[in-house]
Structure 1
Amino acid sequence: MSTFQLLLLIVAGGVFYLFFKQLFSGNHPKRGVDFEAKLPDEQIGGINRPDKTFSTPTVQPTRMEQLLAMTDEAVGKEDYEEAKKALGSALIIDGNNTEVLQKMGYVCMQTEDYSEAKESYEKLLSLDDNDDMAHVSLANVLHKLDDEAGAEKHHERAITLDEEYAPHHFNYANTLYDLGRTKEALIGYKRAYELDDSLEEAEKMIKKLSE
Protein backbone atom coordinates (compact mmCIF):
# COMPACT_ATOMS: atom_id res chain seq x y z
CA MET A 1 0.00 0.00 0.00
CA SER A 2 1.38 3.32 -1.06
CA THR A 3 1.58 6.39 1.12
CA PHE A 4 -1.20 8.05 -0.94
CA GLN A 5 -3.53 5.05 -0.51
CA LEU A 6 -2.84 5.05 3.23
CA LEU A 7 -3.75 8.74 3.40
CA LEU A 8 -7.03 8.13 1.55
CA LEU A 9 -7.89 5.30 3.96
CA ILE A 10 -7.32 7.57 6.98
CA VAL A 11 -9.46 10.36 5.48
CA ALA A 12 -12.27 7.94 4.62
CA GLY A 13 -12.22 6.55 8.14
CA GLY A 14 -12.46 10.06 9.59
CA VAL A 15 -15.45 10.91 7.38
CA PHE A 16 -17.33 7.75 8.38
CA TYR A 17 -16.55 8.42 12.05
CA LEU A 18 -17.97 11.96 11.88
CA PHE A 19 -21.03 10.78 9.89
CA PHE A 20 -22.03 8.09 12.38
CA LYS A 21 -21.30 10.36 15.36
CA GLN A 22 -23.72 12.98 13.97
CA LEU A 23 -26.29 10.32 13.06
CA PHE A 24 -26.54 8.89 16.58
CA SER A 25 -26.21 12.20 18.44
CA GLY A 26 -29.85 13.23 17.78
CA ASN A 27 -28.77 16.66 16.52
CA HIS A 28 -29.53 16.00 12.88
CA PRO A 29 -32.75 17.45 11.33
CA LYS A 30 -35.75 15.17 11.95
CA ARG A 31 -38.16 14.08 9.24
CA GLY A 32 -41.18 16.34 8.98
CA VAL A 33 -39.80 18.94 11.42
CA ASP A 34 -38.14 22.05 10.05
CA PHE A 35 -38.01 24.45 12.96
CA GLU A 36 -40.04 25.79 15.85
CA ALA A 37 -41.53 29.28 15.54
CA LYS A 38 -40.23 31.58 18.26
CA LEU A 39 -42.10 34.81 17.47
CA PRO A 40 -44.42 35.98 20.31
CA ASP A 41 -47.42 36.33 17.99
CA GLU A 42 -46.86 32.85 16.62
CA GLN A 43 -46.16 34.07 13.11
CA ILE A 44 -43.86 32.13 10.82
CA GLY A 45 -41.81 34.07 8.32
CA GLY A 46 -41.48 37.79 8.75
CA ILE A 47 -39.55 40.44 6.91
CA ASN A 48 -37.30 37.96 5.06
CA ARG A 49 -40.12 35.65 3.95
CA PRO A 50 -43.45 37.53 4.01
CA ASP A 51 -44.96 34.79 1.87
CA LYS A 52 -44.53 32.43 4.83
CA THR A 53 -46.35 34.57 7.40
CA PHE A 54 -49.47 33.15 9.05
CA SER A 55 -51.46 35.40 11.43
CA THR A 56 -54.00 34.26 14.00
CA PRO A 57 -57.48 34.56 12.41
CA THR A 58 -60.10 36.92 13.91
CA VAL A 59 -62.62 35.01 16.05
CA GLN A 60 -66.06 35.37 14.52
CA PRO A 61 -69.10 35.82 16.81
CA THR A 62 -71.37 32.82 17.27
CA ARG A 63 -74.88 32.83 15.85
CA MET A 64 -76.22 33.29 19.39
CA GLU A 65 -74.00 36.34 19.92
CA GLN A 66 -75.16 37.79 16.61
CA LEU A 67 -78.83 37.34 17.53
CA LEU A 68 -78.34 38.95 20.95
CA ALA A 69 -76.57 41.89 19.32
CA MET A 70 -79.47 42.22 16.85
CA THR A 71 -81.89 42.18 19.79
CA ASP A 72 -80.04 44.94 21.63
CA GLU A 73 -79.90 47.06 18.48
CA ALA A 74 -83.63 46.59 17.85
CA VAL A 75 -84.53 47.42 21.47
CA GLY A 76 -82.37 50.54 21.22
CA LYS A 77 -84.55 51.60 18.29
CA GLU A 78 -87.72 50.50 20.17
CA ASP A 79 -88.38 48.03 17.37
CA TYR A 80 -89.68 45.36 19.70
CA GLU A 81 -91.20 43.16 17.00
CA GLU A 82 -87.82 42.84 15.32
CA ALA A 83 -86.28 42.09 18.71
CA LYS A 84 -88.82 39.31 19.28
CA LYS A 85 -87.91 37.74 15.93
CA ALA A 86 -84.22 37.66 16.86
CA LEU A 87 -84.99 36.25 20.30
CA GLY A 88 -87.31 33.63 18.82
CA SER A 89 -84.45 32.42 16.62
CA ALA A 90 -82.13 32.42 19.64
CA LEU A 91 -84.55 30.25 21.61
CA ILE A 92 -84.56 27.71 18.78
CA ILE A 93 -80.79 27.42 19.26
CA ASP A 94 -81.00 27.20 23.05
CA GLY A 95 -84.38 27.24 24.75
CA ASN A 96 -82.77 27.35 28.19
CA ASN A 97 -80.54 30.37 27.64
CA THR A 98 -81.31 32.62 30.62
CA GLU A 99 -80.14 35.82 28.93
CA VAL A 100 -82.45 35.19 25.99
CA LEU A 101 -85.38 34.38 28.29
CA GLN A 102 -84.82 37.56 30.31
CA LYS A 103 -84.73 39.69 27.18
CA MET A 104 -87.79 37.97 25.75
CA GLY A 105 -89.75 38.64 28.94
CA TYR A 106 -88.77 42.31 28.84
CA VAL A 107 -89.61 42.73 25.16
CA CYS A 108 -93.00 41.02 25.60
CA MET A 109 -93.79 43.38 28.46
CA GLN A 110 -93.07 46.32 26.16
CA THR A 111 -95.43 44.93 23.51
CA GLU A 112 -98.03 44.05 26.20
CA ASP A 113 -97.81 40.35 25.30
CA TYR A 114 -98.22 39.47 28.94
CA SER A 115 -99.01 35.78 28.47
CA GLU A 116 -95.82 35.30 26.48
CA ALA A 117 -93.84 37.29 29.04
CA LYS A 118 -95.28 35.05 31.75
CA GLU A 119 -94.01 31.97 29.91
CA SER A 120 -90.51 33.42 29.69
CA TYR A 121 -90.31 34.27 33.38
CA GLU A 122 -91.81 30.94 34.45
CA LYS A 123 -89.21 29.19 32.31
CA LEU A 124 -86.47 31.21 34.01
CA LEU A 125 -87.76 30.19 37.43
CA SER A 126 -87.91 26.55 36.41
CA LEU A 127 -84.19 26.83 35.72
CA ASP A 128 -83.41 28.80 38.90
CA ASP A 129 -86.04 29.35 41.57
CA ASN A 130 -83.67 31.69 43.44
CA ASP A 131 -83.64 34.30 40.68
CA ASP A 132 -85.19 37.24 42.53
CA MET A 133 -85.37 39.41 39.40
CA ALA A 134 -87.38 36.72 37.61
CA HIS A 135 -89.76 36.54 40.59
CA VAL A 136 -90.41 40.28 40.66
CA SER A 137 -90.76 40.40 36.85
CA LEU A 138 -93.27 37.56 36.96
CA ALA A 139 -95.12 39.34 39.78
CA ASN A 140 -95.46 42.45 37.62
CA VAL A 141 -96.75 40.34 34.70
CA LEU A 142 -99.29 38.52 36.88
CA HIS A 143 -100.51 41.87 38.18
CA LYS A 144 -101.14 42.91 34.57
CA LEU A 145 -103.02 39.63 34.05
CA ASP A 146 -105.17 40.29 37.17
CA ASP A 147 -103.67 37.34 39.02
CA GLU A 148 -103.21 39.28 42.24
CA ALA A 149 -102.63 36.27 44.46
CA GLY A 150 -99.84 35.10 42.19
CA ALA A 151 -98.39 38.59 41.97
CA GLU A 152 -98.28 38.95 45.75
CA LYS A 153 -96.66 35.53 46.13
CA HIS A 154 -93.81 36.34 43.74
CA HIS A 155 -93.28 39.86 45.11
CA GLU A 156 -92.84 38.40 48.57
CA ARG A 157 -90.51 35.71 47.25
CA ALA A 158 -88.32 38.34 45.55
CA ILE A 159 -88.10 40.34 48.78
CA THR A 160 -87.21 37.22 50.76
CA LEU A 161 -84.37 36.47 48.34
CA ASP A 162 -82.97 40.02 48.53
CA GLU A 163 -84.44 42.11 51.33
CA GLU A 164 -81.93 44.93 50.81
CA TYR A 165 -82.91 45.64 47.20
CA ALA A 166 -85.11 48.74 47.28
CA PRO A 167 -86.88 48.24 43.91
CA HIS A 168 -88.39 44.96 45.16
CA HIS A 169 -90.17 46.84 47.96
CA PHE A 170 -91.12 49.66 45.59
CA ASN A 171 -92.63 47.30 43.00
CA TYR A 172 -94.62 45.45 45.64
CA ALA A 173 -95.86 48.75 47.03
CA ASN A 174 -97.03 49.75 43.55
CA THR A 175 -99.03 46.55 43.24
CA LEU A 176 -100.57 47.03 46.68
CA TYR A 177 -101.43 50.64 45.83
CA ASP A 178 -103.20 49.53 42.63
CA LEU A 179 -105.21 47.09 44.73
CA GLY A 180 -106.29 49.86 47.08
CA ARG A 181 -104.25 48.52 49.98
CA THR A 182 -102.75 51.91 50.69
CA LYS A 183 -101.61 51.32 54.27
CA GLU A 184 -99.54 48.31 53.22
CA ALA A 185 -98.31 50.20 50.17
CA LEU A 186 -97.11 53.07 52.37
CA ILE A 187 -95.03 50.63 54.43
CA GLY A 188 -93.46 49.33 51.22
CA TYR A 189 -92.68 52.80 49.88
CA LYS A 190 -91.10 53.79 53.20
CA ARG A 191 -88.94 50.67 53.22
CA ALA A 192 -87.84 51.28 49.63
CA TYR A 193 -86.93 54.90 50.39
CA GLU A 194 -85.13 53.87 53.56
CA LEU A 195 -82.94 51.54 51.52
CA ASP A 196 -82.39 53.98 48.66
CA ASP A 197 -83.20 57.67 49.17
CA SER A 198 -82.59 58.36 45.47
CA LEU A 199 -86.00 56.81 44.68
CA GLU A 200 -87.89 60.05 44.15
CA GLU A 201 -91.09 58.26 43.15
CA ALA A 202 -91.12 56.44 46.47
CA GLU A 203 -90.70 59.75 48.28
CA LYS A 204 -93.60 61.25 46.32
CA MET A 205 -95.85 58.32 47.16
CA ILE A 206 -94.93 58.55 50.84
CA LYS A 207 -95.96 62.22 50.91
CA LYS A 208 -99.14 61.49 48.98
CA LEU A 209 -100.23 58.64 51.25
CA SER A 210 -99.25 60.48 54.43
CA GLU A 211 -101.50 63.48 53.77
Structure 2
Amino acid sequence: MHRSLLALALALAPAAVTPGCTGAAKTEVELVRPLVLTPVDDSKGALKRVAEAVRADPQSGLEVESGEVAGEGGGPAVQENFATGPEKHVLEDYIRTHPELAPPADQAFGYERLRDGEGRTSWRMHCVRAGGLALRELAAADLIEGPDNRPRIRLRLVPEDSQRFAALTAEHRGRRLAVVQDDEVLTAPTLQGPLTTGELEIPLAAATRAEAQAALDHLLGR
Protein backbone atom coordinates (compact mmCIF):
# COMPACT_ATOMS: atom_id res chain seq x y z
CA MET A 1 0.00 0.00 0.00
CA HIS A 2 1.35 3.42 -0.92
CA ARG A 3 1.98 5.85 1.90
CA SER A 4 -0.12 9.01 1.92
CA LEU A 5 1.28 12.27 0.60
CA LEU A 6 1.27 13.70 4.12
CA ALA A 7 3.29 10.78 5.48
CA LEU A 8 5.81 11.15 2.66
CA ALA A 9 6.07 14.89 3.18
CA LEU A 10 6.65 14.59 6.90
CA ALA A 11 9.25 11.89 6.30
CA LEU A 12 11.13 13.80 3.59
CA ALA A 13 10.74 17.46 4.57
CA PRO A 14 13.65 18.95 6.54
CA ALA A 15 13.03 20.37 9.98
CA ALA A 16 12.36 24.11 9.99
CA VAL A 17 15.30 26.19 11.22
CA THR A 18 15.26 29.92 11.83
CA PRO A 19 18.72 31.46 11.39
CA GLY A 20 19.76 33.42 14.46
CA CYS A 21 16.72 32.37 16.48
CA THR A 22 17.49 32.19 20.17
CA GLY A 23 14.16 30.86 21.37
CA ALA A 24 11.08 29.00 20.21
CA ALA A 25 8.71 31.10 18.13
CA LYS A 26 5.25 31.59 19.56
CA THR A 27 2.72 29.34 17.86
CA GLU A 28 -0.53 31.18 17.16
CA VAL A 29 -2.34 28.33 15.36
CA GLU A 30 -1.15 24.76 15.61
CA LEU A 31 -2.46 22.54 12.83
CA VAL A 32 -3.86 19.16 13.84
CA ARG A 33 -3.37 17.98 10.24
CA PRO A 34 -0.37 19.68 8.59
CA LEU A 35 -0.63 21.44 5.25
CA VAL A 36 1.85 20.41 2.57
CA LEU A 37 3.00 22.79 -0.18
CA THR A 38 4.43 20.79 -3.06
CA PRO A 39 4.83 21.13 -6.85
CA VAL A 40 2.37 19.48 -9.20
CA ASP A 41 4.62 17.07 -11.09
CA ASP A 42 3.62 14.56 -13.76
CA SER A 43 7.12 14.32 -15.22
CA LYS A 44 6.97 10.51 -14.97
CA GLY A 45 3.62 10.31 -16.75
CA ALA A 46 1.55 8.79 -13.93
CA LEU A 47 -1.46 11.05 -14.50
CA LYS A 48 -1.06 10.78 -18.26
CA ARG A 49 -1.40 6.99 -17.94
CA VAL A 50 -4.55 7.42 -15.84
CA ALA A 51 -6.02 9.74 -18.48
CA GLU A 52 -5.26 7.23 -21.24
CA ALA A 53 -6.87 4.42 -19.24
CA VAL A 54 -10.00 6.49 -18.58
CA ARG A 55 -10.34 7.40 -22.27
CA ALA A 56 -10.16 3.69 -23.13
CA ASP A 57 -12.71 2.73 -20.45
CA PRO A 58 -16.13 4.33 -21.05
CA GLN A 59 -17.53 2.43 -18.04
CA SER A 60 -15.12 4.06 -15.58
CA GLY A 61 -17.52 6.83 -14.57
CA LEU A 62 -14.64 9.30 -14.98
CA GLU A 63 -13.79 11.96 -17.54
CA VAL A 64 -10.59 13.56 -18.80
CA GLU A 65 -9.98 17.31 -18.96
CA SER A 66 -7.14 18.78 -20.99
CA GLY A 67 -5.55 22.19 -20.87
CA GLU A 68 -2.30 24.08 -21.07
CA VAL A 69 -0.17 25.71 -18.42
CA ALA A 70 2.71 28.09 -19.00
CA GLY A 71 6.07 26.38 -19.26
CA GLU A 72 8.52 26.57 -16.39
CA GLY A 73 10.69 29.70 -16.46
CA GLY A 74 8.65 31.20 -19.30
CA GLY A 75 9.20 28.21 -21.59
CA PRO A 76 6.69 26.72 -24.05
CA ALA A 77 3.23 25.86 -22.76
CA VAL A 78 2.83 22.35 -21.36
CA GLN A 79 -0.19 20.13 -22.02
CA GLU A 80 -1.99 18.97 -18.87
CA ASN A 81 -4.44 16.10 -18.50
CA PHE A 82 -6.72 15.68 -15.49
CA ALA A 83 -8.93 12.75 -14.57
CA THR A 84 -12.16 14.01 -13.02
CA GLY A 85 -15.05 12.32 -11.27
CA PRO A 86 -18.33 13.12 -9.53
CA GLU A 87 -16.97 12.10 -6.12
CA LYS A 88 -13.50 11.76 -4.63
CA HIS A 89 -14.03 8.11 -3.77
CA VAL A 90 -14.80 7.28 -7.42
CA LEU A 91 -11.31 8.46 -8.41
CA GLU A 92 -9.73 6.69 -5.43
CA ASP A 93 -11.58 3.45 -6.18
CA TYR A 94 -10.46 3.53 -9.80
CA ILE A 95 -6.80 3.71 -8.78
CA ARG A 96 -7.33 1.09 -6.07
CA THR A 97 -8.79 -1.36 -8.60
CA HIS A 98 -6.10 -0.56 -11.17
CA PRO A 99 -2.87 -0.90 -9.17
CA GLU A 100 -0.79 -0.66 -12.33
CA LEU A 101 -1.80 3.03 -12.44
CA ALA A 102 -0.42 3.84 -8.99
CA PRO A 103 2.12 6.71 -9.00
CA PRO A 104 5.86 6.18 -8.38
CA ALA A 105 7.05 6.12 -4.78
CA ASP A 106 8.28 9.73 -4.95
CA GLN A 107 4.94 11.04 -6.23
CA ALA A 108 1.33 10.86 -5.05
CA PHE A 109 -2.16 11.56 -6.31
CA GLY A 110 -4.13 14.36 -4.70
CA TYR A 111 -7.78 15.28 -5.21
CA GLU A 112 -9.22 18.78 -5.67
CA ARG A 113 -12.88 19.62 -5.07
CA LEU A 114 -14.36 21.92 -7.72
CA ARG A 115 -17.64 23.78 -7.98
CA ASP A 116 -19.03 25.12 -11.27
CA GLY A 117 -21.12 28.23 -11.82
CA GLU A 118 -24.33 26.31 -11.12
CA GLY A 119 -23.13 24.97 -7.79
CA ARG A 120 -22.38 21.43 -8.96
CA THR A 121 -19.30 19.80 -7.48
CA SER A 122 -16.76 17.45 -9.01
CA TRP A 123 -13.27 16.23 -8.16
CA ARG A 124 -10.02 16.55 -10.12
CA MET A 125 -6.98 14.32 -9.74
CA HIS A 126 -3.49 15.84 -9.59
CA CYS A 127 -0.09 14.17 -9.50
CA VAL A 128 2.17 15.92 -7.01
CA ARG A 129 5.71 15.52 -5.81
CA ALA A 130 6.28 13.86 -2.46
CA GLY A 131 8.02 15.98 0.13
CA GLY A 132 7.65 19.73 -0.12
CA LEU A 133 7.09 22.18 2.70
CA ALA A 134 5.02 20.82 5.60
CA LEU A 135 3.27 23.51 7.65
CA ARG A 136 2.53 22.46 11.22
CA GLU A 137 1.71 25.92 12.57
CA LEU A 138 0.46 29.28 11.32
CA ALA A 139 0.81 32.84 12.53
CA ALA A 140 -2.86 33.50 11.69
CA ALA A 141 -5.76 32.27 9.56
CA ASP A 142 -8.97 34.04 8.57
CA LEU A 143 -11.59 34.43 5.84
CA ILE A 144 -11.48 37.18 3.23
CA GLU A 145 -13.35 38.01 0.03
CA GLY A 146 -11.35 37.42 -3.15
CA PRO A 147 -11.36 39.52 -6.33
CA ASP A 148 -14.01 37.14 -7.70
CA ASN A 149 -16.28 38.10 -4.75
CA ARG A 150 -16.04 34.55 -3.41
CA PRO A 151 -14.71 33.64 0.03
CA ARG A 152 -11.19 32.38 0.46
CA ILE A 153 -8.94 31.40 3.33
CA ARG A 154 -5.95 33.63 4.07
CA LEU A 155 -3.04 32.05 5.90
CA ARG A 156 -0.12 33.96 7.39
CA LEU A 157 2.96 31.81 7.81
CA VAL A 158 5.34 31.88 10.74
CA PRO A 159 8.70 33.53 9.86
CA GLU A 160 10.73 30.37 9.28
CA ASP A 161 8.07 28.86 7.00
CA SER A 162 7.65 32.20 5.22
CA GLN A 163 11.34 32.13 4.24
CA ARG A 164 11.10 28.56 3.00
CA PHE A 165 7.86 29.34 1.13
CA ALA A 166 9.53 32.24 -0.69
CA ALA A 167 12.42 29.97 -1.72
CA LEU A 168 10.03 27.21 -2.84
CA THR A 169 7.94 29.54 -4.99
CA ALA A 170 11.04 31.12 -6.53
CA GLU A 171 12.44 27.70 -7.44
CA HIS A 172 9.23 26.53 -9.12
CA ARG A 173 8.17 29.69 -10.93
CA GLY A 174 5.88 28.87 -13.85
CA ARG A 175 4.70 25.58 -12.33
CA ARG A 176 1.64 24.69 -10.31
CA LEU A 177 2.04 24.53 -6.55
CA ALA A 178 -0.43 22.32 -4.72
CA VAL A 179 -1.63 23.09 -1.20
CA VAL A 180 -2.52 19.69 0.22
CA GLN A 181 -4.08 18.48 3.46
CA ASP A 182 -4.14 14.71 3.82
CA ASP A 183 -4.66 13.81 0.13
CA GLU A 184 -7.02 16.70 -0.69
CA VAL A 185 -5.64 19.46 -2.92
CA LEU A 186 -7.09 22.70 -1.58
CA THR A 187 -5.72 24.78 -4.46
CA ALA A 188 -3.07 24.39 -7.17
CA PRO A 189 -2.28 27.78 -8.73
CA THR A 190 0.41 28.46 -11.31
CA LEU A 191 3.25 30.42 -9.74
CA GLN A 192 3.96 33.68 -11.54
CA GLY A 193 6.97 34.42 -9.35
CA PRO A 194 8.27 34.15 -5.79
CA LEU A 195 5.76 34.88 -3.03
CA THR A 196 7.56 36.84 -0.35
CA THR A 197 4.78 38.32 1.80
CA GLY A 198 4.44 35.24 3.98
CA GLU A 199 0.75 35.00 3.09
CA LEU A 200 -1.10 32.31 1.19
CA GLU A 201 -4.69 32.45 -0.06
CA ILE A 202 -6.87 29.41 -0.73
CA PRO A 203 -9.97 29.97 -2.93
CA LEU A 204 -12.96 27.99 -1.74
CA ALA A 205 -15.66 26.04 -3.54
CA ALA A 206 -17.99 27.20 -0.76
CA ALA A 207 -21.13 29.06 -1.83
CA THR A 208 -22.01 30.66 1.51
CA ARG A 209 -20.19 32.31 4.40
CA ALA A 210 -21.25 29.46 6.69
CA GLU A 211 -19.74 26.90 4.30
CA ALA A 212 -16.56 28.97 4.11
CA GLN A 213 -16.32 29.12 7.91
CA ALA A 214 -16.85 25.36 8.06
CA ALA A 215 -14.01 24.90 5.54
CA LEU A 216 -11.70 27.07 7.66
CA ASP A 217 -12.64 25.19 10.83
CA HIS A 218 -11.98 21.88 9.08
CA LEU A 219 -8.57 23.06 7.87
CA LEU A 220 -7.64 24.14 11.40
CA GLY A 221 -8.98 20.94 12.96
CA ARG A 222 -11.61 22.67 15.09
With the length of structure 1 as denominator, give the TM-score of the two structures. Answer: 0.25
Structure of higher CA gyration radius: 1
Relative contact order, higher structure (CA 8 A, sep 6+): 2
Select the structure that is richer in strand. Answer: 2
With the length of structure 2 as denominator, give the TM-score of the two structures. Answer: 0.24
